[in-house]
Structure 1
């Protein structure tokens, strides 16, 4: 037999049982248009496919890294005049031996003018179990690079001087 207690208005107020209602600003922040969700997913898939193609499927990404990066790219691009459409995204790998290596360059919308450039810097994860096992078993064949869940996103402004553009860090 289950125990059921009926609350009467005298014992407690309904507002005590429920959380306070969100303000209009909070509602605007949490509600996202379907267009924004779609654009974020398209950006994530496109970056993942092009990076995998550029490195011959030789990188292992943490499960949520590309989603977090796409979220940050999208939120940083909101401040720009053309938004995400005016973004050029450069994905670079910070190799401990050779330094920064550019993997891909993605223009989000070819028809829109470039208003800003974002550089997503991926770092290796030397502490992962896969990296440690690859060091032990050198005969595993082609080594895969394990990417750290931490990344950098640097924003540059883009100044167009006719035929060549110039990057300026913001």
Structure 2
């Protein structure tokens, strides 16, 4: 389903099935980035999507201090595809990329992580990825019930990401190249 949301974390439904959250699409809770059964055409795209999902999973605990991050199912794959497209004209391709991951908040952006696809290669360009939050600040009561955290003392918040994102590209080897901003 194109509108399915993926929760980044360790929560599971009893049956592993999708659960209706009152939104237009079900929510699927995943424990590992990109389930084993998911196959992407390109290995680099799959690896990058995994790196993004792992970044969100780590940020959930360390930067966002939330109990769950809900991510539209195809979002990390779409981002990985756009990053690969932006890297295609670079001297080292994706291997020369440093990716800064941010989350847009009401008061600006919060830096989540810095990702080097291949740390052994000198970076030739930087990409700044800005995730956007979904407009609904409060999860529905059905979301809370589904997550099983409604009355748990560890429950803090649920961050729901929008399908939209922004990528900003900056070349490091050319002072005249300028900056490319893409809204997706």
The TM tier, using the shorter chain, reads 0.5 to 0.7
What's the offset of the Cα at 1:82? 0.4
Task: Determine whether 1:79 maps to 2:89.
Answer: yes
Distance 1:158 1:85, change over 3 A: same
Task: From 97, 101, 107, give the equivalent of 2:110.
Answer: 101
Give CA deviations for 1:65-91 in whole Å, capped at 9, x if unaligned: 111000000010001000000000111
Find the partner of 1:43 among 48, 66, 79. Answer: 48
Structure 2: gaps of 5 or more residues: 1-40, 62-66
| TM-score normalised to structure 1 length | 0.65
Matched residues in 2 for 1:43 and 1:100: separation? 22
Aligned residues: 123
1:115 matched to 2:124: yes
CA distance in 1, matches of 2:71, 2:48: 16
* Structure 1 pair 51–132 and aligned structure 2 pair: CA distance change class (3 A): closer
Aligned counterpart, 1:133: 140
Pairwise CA distance, 1:159? 4.7
List structure 1 segments (4+ residues) > 6 angstroms apart after TM superposition: none
Is the CA contact (8 Å cut-off) linking 1:81 and 1:115 kept in structure 2?
yes
- State the 1:46 CA deviation: 1.3
Instruction: List aligned pairs for 1:61-72, cutoff 5 A.
Output: 61-72=71-82
Give SS of 2:156's match.
coil
The alignment yields a C-alpha RMSD, in angstroms, of 2.4
In 2, the alpha carbon distance for the partners of 1:71 and 1:101 equals 23
Unaligned 5+ segments in structure 1 are 1-35, 161-167
Greater Cα radius of gyration, structure 1 or 2: 1
Instruction: Normalising by structure 2, report the TM-score.
Output: 0.60
Instruction: Tell me the CA shift for residue 117 of structure 1.
Output: 0.5
* Number of the residue aligned with 1:53: 58
Q: How far apart in 1 are the matches of 2:68 and 2:172?
A: 32
